[in-house]
Amino acid sequence: MTSLKELPVLVVDDNRAAREAIVAVLGKLGFQNVTAVGDLPAATRELATRGAGLVLCEALVDGKYGIQLLKKVRATPQLARVPFLVTSSRKEPAIIQAHLKAGASEFLVKPFDSATLLARLKKALAQRPAPKPSAQCPETRLLEMGHKALESYDTKGAIACFTKAARANPACPEAYVGLAMACKRKKDMAQYMLFMNTAAKVMVEAGDMAGAEAIHRELRLYDAQAPNPFAQAAAALDARGEHAAASPLWERAVAVEPDNPAHYLALGDALLRQGDREGAKAQVTAALRLRDDFPEARKLFKALTGQRWTESESSQAHARRRDEEEEKRSTVRFWVPDLLVAIKGRDAHFTLSEMSLRSLAFSPLGQAFAVDEELRLDILRLADGEARPEIRRLKGVVARMDAETVGVRLAEPSPEQEQEIRDILAAAQERQKEQFREEKKDVISFDIDMLFM
């Protein structure tokens, strides 16, 4: 088996800084046979002449869609089983599903750190794509016909095909997504929302929680009050008295919509019906901290504790939540790994993933850190294959950590350090705005093309 050092890797991205940063991270992970190009014709020539053992391609390269290269790779016998990872800052479920359906091994949403990249690479290399089965079920043929109709701008024909597919298999979420996209083509956003929500509900019933969550997040971009599919499914179970089955769905509803106090109350009620009074109290308290004047929650709180809920009890929680939200709003995520953290006493350079005036976060790269550990660190910028100092002698304390992220609360920086942090944040925000403006030039046609080309 070819080692990581020898494995030929092709990186395709029209953003030079992104290409260089990804190549640098691949080098640190052990990949030494890496070629990077900035357009699809160059990538096609590279694959034709040298081939590849692994491809990382941006979804939109110099105005062209990376899915075109993906389909060429999958249609070429000698390349058909090459792991192909797609990178993009777009995370709409329709776009992700289009690439996975076309044969992508993994879809990496920017920003991502080196630990995430390595994990996805190992998974893709271990699970090479299997040959496509020749037999097709009836709804699969109908879905393909619907996709082709949309490609030809035959909206009426697409709706007919996707409707037949949904009737043939009511548990097929792609049929409802197809209907939604056809309605979006007609500018009928009400029906678009309805069919997408139906797809999400079907996914919940099938256990595809990640897919349902992705659709719900997309729908909230159009309507902040979009129905929560987990709450809908949980409410149906509660109505049938199946409270134990409803509780995990209420927990998921809370996780994807943490600003809705009604979900906390419903979860508390479901727990209470199972005899978990402490769990119920915690959820009702959370609901009241979000909405102090919530009569149903106040009533249940009194029934559980024998005491009235008072405003003074929630004031500190409100203040903490305001501070946390302000910190989140001011935090910038870095979608390409071009900034590194050097920590005194540690040899490795860690990829910076988040930063604000008060905090930063980085990938631990498998090293152990401890909460409340004091750190002395420098911020480095990766350019031309070298790491150069950007901000020196920062101090901080580890405030949070998990397998992928170490969060550091910065000590009071000097005025010079604070200005340097502001400069980095301003530059990163401007870069992200420019990327967003570029990607949103023609968002509707982009979505349609990405899903059905």
The answer to whether 58 and 18 are in contact (CB under 8 A) is yes
Is residue 176 within 8 A of residue 211, CB to CB? The reply is no
Q: What angle do CA 32, 38, 40 make, to 5 degrees?
A: 105
In the prediction, which pLDDT does 161 show? 93
Q: What is the pLDDT at residue 311?
A: 59
pLDDT of residue 153: 86
Question: Using one digit for the tens of pLDDT, what is the confidence trace for 160-176?
Answer: 999 999 888 888 888 99
Question: Which segments of the chain have a pLDDT < 50?
Answer: 1, 131-136, 312-315, 439-453
Q: Which domains does the chain have, with CATH numbers?
A: 9-126 (3.40.50.2300), 138-308 (1.25.40.10), 332-437 (2.40.10.220)
Please state, in angstroms and rounded to a whole number, the distance separating the CA atoms of residues 138 and 324: 51
Q: Inter-axis angle of helices 173-185 and 138-151, to 10 degrees? A: 20
Which residues fall within 8 angstroms of residue 369, CB to CB, at 6 or more apart? 398, 401, 406
Task: Give me the pLDDT at residue 327, please.
Answer: 59
pLDDT in tens, 32-56: 889 999 999 899 888 888 888 899 9
pLDDT recorded at residue 447: 42
Nearest-angstrom CA–CA distance, 72 and 318: 54
